[in-house]
Chain A
Amino acid sequence: MHRPTFRQAHGQRIFQFILLLGMAACVYFVAQYVKQRLDSQGIATGFGFLWDRAGYNLGESLIPYDGDDSYGRALLAGFSNTLKVAVAAIFFSLFLGFVAAVAMLSGHRTAERIAKLYVRVVRNTPVLLQLFFWFGIFTVSMPAPRETYSPLPHLYISNRGINFPAPDGTAWAVIAIVVAVLLAAFWLSNQRRQAGKSGSWIFLLSTLGCASLMILLTRAGVIAFEYPAAGRFSINGGATISPEFLTILIGLSVYTGTYIAEVLRGAVESISTGQMEAAQALGLSQGQGLRLVVLPQATRVAMPAVVSELLNLVKNSSLGVAVGYPELVSAGNTAMNQTGQAIELIAIYMLFYVTLNYVITKLSHVLEARYEW
């Protein structure tokens, strides 16, 4: 590509400015026209409703929300649920995709066949259908609340979800400290290992220390848990993972996992066998060759495709509306039904999804930069 001369650049800039102005004018005229049409049909417009009382409850939400709060708050609560399921599903689908890709590349016949079957079946059926399937599993096939299955003390599994003891405030603080200590220990042991000294014992020791501290504090009653208990209708108290959340989490992870598996497999296979041969000729073992030569190149190839699958996953979370998971679209559709302001709400959906996916894209660029050379 040749660099444009000053004159050309100048001309382009003027043209771009005119183009931008034209587009802005176009958007403005269309908006004006839509507004005029809606007014003539007597359909309410504007974003004022966001501050009105919503009057409906959501099944669950990450941020506190009650029906007395505003529509705006209801949408934020719905978005918090979208974030929750999106983040969890991203991790699960990457994990599943990675495992399936390794199985397909392993050369182990059975593992390869199972992984291929998984990819073929799941990738070739519509995701909504799969969500209905999982919804059936988690609501119809699970035991009813009165016949709750309890594999561990205080852990209940039924078609009302999974109930388990919830840590109280102090317990959360202790958990936060423990996580921080473990992360620090991990970092420290890594540093030492890179310096050629033995470091694993630091991590092991702090894990043991933290575990015994947790047990000690629980025994002493310093930290407590809220235990679930059978109520009149279902298990009450403790923390709950709802069947709707499980449906959308498992459904999307399993579905997106197949795409990620194929992308990863393709990426590794795209690296020419010569690379591995060269690595081995230099005296690297098979594992080292894979880790130091093939994988860094494959990651670079796979990254953009994987990210675009993850963006799809985030958008697909809007299917939660079909299976009763109160994510953004579900919360918004109720608002749409009550206020009738469809255009405004769809604009808000777009804004939320574009922002979320923009952030993910930016994060992925940071990661991609690490694989540039």
Chain B
Amino acid sequence: MTPLKTTLAMASICAAGLATMAQADLISTIKDRGELTCGVHPGLVGFGAPDENGAWQGLDPDFCRAFAIAILGEPSVKFVPLSAQARFTALQNGEIDVLAQNSTMTLTRDAGLGLNFPMFNFYDGQGLMIRADLGVTDAKELDGASVCIQQGTTSEYVVRNFFTDLGITFKPVVIESGTEFFSAFFANRCDVITSDLSQLAVVRLTSDDPSQYVVLEDIMAKSPLGPVVRGDDKDFMDVVKWVVYATLTAEELDITADNVEDMKNENNADIQKFLGVTPGVGEPLGLDDDWVANVISSLGNYSEIFERNVGQDSPLGLERGQNALWRDGGLMYSPLF
């Protein structure tokens, strides 16, 4: 290479490194693209897994659809399955618009990664599942047990604190791949597997013989789950936040996918505004006024989404528990529309 060529090559590398990515606001980008990209769990029945036709089903994919309907008027979503370890990086570098992958909100993730957790859509807790034949009923009896932990989650930290506080030891087996993580437990490589309680319920149910495994009653840590967005686009964050609130408010007002059209004629100013009969809910978010009605008519309210995917109408059969509305003794509480 001649000196000139070398210099030019170097200059071009330098320029490429410095090239700035032009960033328009996310809502218009999604409208131009006609599609929302959403990061989901690669395979967790009830929370995000492809069905036999390859369509993504679950609580998280349904919320992805809700965001798309609010912005585009139709559920055009490109689902990107992501491992626990890769998910936040994929969101940071713009590969996806929003992450809905059973992600627990922590201080570091919310404040240190340049990300934002606008609100929670599932209250969970971290628990332990163990083989029934070991006869363990209390976590205190687990001294010296091997624990399967999935990498990229909050589990590694939580497990250590929990066992140290109890004054007992454990042997961690930390595995990144989701499949290997479960198969290691089922192959008896570990005595205990730890994850969010909802996930343990799924894993137990999808095993060959669920009666062989018990989920212990100890809850090691709270695990509030919710969609995640980048911190640099407040408008998009607002949309994500208020879409989730809309599903909760619809449940409060007893608006369902079936009765949403009838409810529009209800002589109630709140409901009329909420469903876009009278203007008000669209403009502050930069959306059309009928976005709530669109979301509810195709996906239903929070209760319908919950029961269909993880609740009584699903194989998982989870109770609403903490995820019930505040008026029913749960934690779900939506501000005013």
Partners in one complex: yes
What is the interface of chain A, defined by CB distance below 8 A to chain B? 15, 19, 22-23, 26, 29-30, 33, 38, 40-44, 55-59, 67, 132, 135-136, 139-140, 144-145, 159-160, 231-234, 236, 243-244, 321-324, 326, 330, 333-334, 337-340, 342
B253 within 8 A of A: no
**Residues on B with beta carbons closer than 8 Å to the beta carbon of A58:** 172, 174
Can you offer 26 A-B residue contacts whose CB atoms are under 8 A? A22-B7, A26-B13, A30-B14, A30-B18, A41-B231, A42-B111, A42-B232, A55-B160, A56-B172, A57-B160, A67-B164, A139-B183, A140-B183, A231-B144, A233-B144, A233-B145, A321-B151, A322-B176, A322-B180, A324-B175, A324-B176, A330-B151, A334-B174, A337-B85, A337-B153, A340-B88
Instruction: For the complex, give the distance between the alpha carbons of A236 and B191 in Å.
Output: 14
In the complex, what residues of B have CB within 8 A of residue A233's CB?
Answer: 134, 142, 144-146, 191
> Please, how many angstroms separate the alpha-carbon atoms of A334 and B231 in the complex?
23
Query: Contact at B188–A159, with CB atoms within 8 Å?
Result: yes
A323-B4 Cα distance, complex, nearest whole Å: 49
- Given A233-B191, A324-B175, do A43 and B145 touch, yes or no (CB 8 Å)? no
**At the interface, yes or no: B173 with Cβ under 8 Å from chain A?**
yes
Instruction: Select one of A139, A232, A330 contacting B187, CB under 8 A.
Output: A139
Cα–Cα, bound, A135→B232 (Å) = 42
Indicate which residue in A29, A160, A232 contacts B189 across the interface (CB closer than 8 Å): A160
| Interface residue from A38, A144, A333, A342 paired with B151 (Cβ < 8 Å) | A333
Question: Which of chain A's residues have a CB closer than 8 A to the CB of B152?
Answer: 333-334, 337
Query: For the complex, is B307 an interface residue (Cβ under 8 Å from A)?
Result: no
Instruction: Give chain A residues whose Cβ lies under 8 Å from the Cβ of B175.
Output: 322-324
Q: Cβ of B268 < 8 Å from any Cβ of A?
A: no
Q: Are A135 and B108 in contact (CB under 8 A)?
A: no
CA distance A136 to B114 in the complex (A): 38
- Flag if B231 contacts A42 (CB, 8 Å): yes
- Contact partners of B10 in chain A: CB under 8 A: 19, 22-23, 26
- Verify B144–A236 contact, CB threshold 8 A: yes
Q: How far is the CA of A326 from the CA of B156 in the complex (A)?
A: 13
Cβ-neighbour of A33 out of B17, B84, B230 (below 8 A): B17
A324 touches B173 (CB 8 A): yes
Which residues of A are found within 8 Å of B145, using beta-carbon distances? 233
Min CB–CB distance B164 → chain A (angstroms): 7
**In the complex the two chains form, is A57's CB within 8 Å of B172's CB?**
yes
Provide the residues of chain B in CB contact with A23, threshold 8 Å. 10
Chain B, Cβ-Cβ closest to A40: B232
Q: Are A159 and B189 in contact (CB under 8 A)?
A: yes
**What residues of B have a CB within 8 angstroms of the CB of A340 in the complex?**
88, 108-109, 112-113
**Across the interface, do A321 and B176 meet the contact criterion of CB distance under 8 Å?**
yes
What is the bound-complex CA distance between A178 and B16, given in angstroms? 61
Closest Cβ of chain A to B185, distance in Å, is: 10
Instruction: Tell me the minimal C-beta distance from B106 to chain A in angstroms.
Output: 9
- Chain B residues with CB under 8 Å of chain A are 3, 6-7, 10, 13-14, 17-18, 84-85, 88-89, 92, 108-109, 111-114, 134, 141-146, 151-153, 156-157, 160-161, 164, 170-177, 180, 183-184, 187-189, 191, 230-232
Question: Which listed residue (B3, B17, B134, B189) contacts A139, Cβ 8 A?
Answer: B189
With the chains together, A42 CA to B229 CA distance in Å? 13
Question: A231: which B residues are within 8 A, CB to CB?
Answer: 144
Please indicate the chain B residues that have their CB under 8 angstroms from the CB of A324 in the complex: 173-176, 180, 184
Answer whether A56 and B191 are a contact pair too, CB < 8 Å, given A43-B92, A333-B151: no
Residues of the A chain whose Cβ atoms lie less than 8 Å from the Cβ of B176: 321-322, 324, 330, 333
Closest Cβ–Cβ distance, residue B25 to chain A (whole Å): 15
- Chain A residues with CB below 8 A from B84, complex form: 337
Interface centre among A22, A33, A57, A321 (most CB of B within 10 A): A57
> Which listed residue (A15, A43, A56, A132) contacts B156, Cβ 8 A?
A56
- Chain A residues near B143: list those with CB within 8 A: 232
Question: A359 → chain B, closest Cβ, in Å?
Answer: 28
In Å, the complex CA distance between A322 and B108 comes to 25
Residue in B85, B113, B153 with the greatest tally of chain A CB atoms within 10 Å? B113
Q: Which of B141, B170, B187 has the most CB of A within 10 A?
A: B187
Alpha-carbon distance between A41 and B92 when the two chains are bound, in angstroms? 9
Q: Which residue of B lies closest to A334 (CB)?
A: B156
CB-CB under 8 A for A59 and B156, given A26-B17, A38-B114, A41-B230: no
| Shortest Cβ gap from A168 to chain B (Å) | 21
Determine the distance from Cα of A51 to Cα of B281 in the docked complex, in whole angstroms: 49
How many whole Å from A315's CB to the nearest CB in chain B?
A: 17
| A42-B177 Cα distance, complex, nearest whole Å | 29
In the complex, which residues of chain A have a beta carbon less than 8 angstroms from the beta carbon of B160? 55-57, 67
Contact indicator B89/A342 (Cβ below 8 Å): yes
In the bound complex, how far is the Cα of B233 from the Cα of A41, in angstroms?
10
Complex: A333 Cα to B89 Cα, angstroms: 12
In chain A, what residue has the closest Cβ to B177?
A322
Chain B residue contacts of A22, Cβ below 8 A: 7, 10
A342–B230 alpha-carbon span in the complex (Å) = 16
Q: How far is the CA of A323 from the CA of B184 in the complex (A)?
A: 9
A333 cross-chain contacts in B, Cβ below 8 A: 85, 151-152, 176
A309 to B112: give the CA distance in the assembly, Å: 40
Interface pair B188/A55, CB less than 8 Å apart: no
B171 touches A59 (CB 8 A): yes
Which residue, A132, A135, A234, A337, has most C-beta atoms of chain B within 10 A? A337
Chain B min CB distance to A337 (Å): 5
Closest chain A residue to B192, Cβ basis: A233
Please measure, in the bound complex, the distance between the C-alpha atom of A203 and the C-alpha atom of B189, giving whole angstroms: 44
Which of B108, B109, B175 counts the most A-chain CB atoms under 10 A from its CB?
B175
Min C-beta distance of B273 to chain A, whole Å: 35
> Given that A43-B112, A145-B188, A339-B112 are known contacts, is A244 also in contact with B180, CB under 8 Å in the complex?
no
The 10 closest A-B pairs by CB, nearest first: A41-B114, A56-B156, A43-B114, A140-B187, A340-B113, A324-B175, A139-B189, A42-B114, A144-B188, A26-B14
Selected contact of A135 from candidates B14, B89, B161, B180, CB within 8 Å: B180
A226 to chain B, nearest CB (A): 15
Q: When chains A and B are docked, how far (Å) is the Cα of A330 from the Cα of B108? A: 20
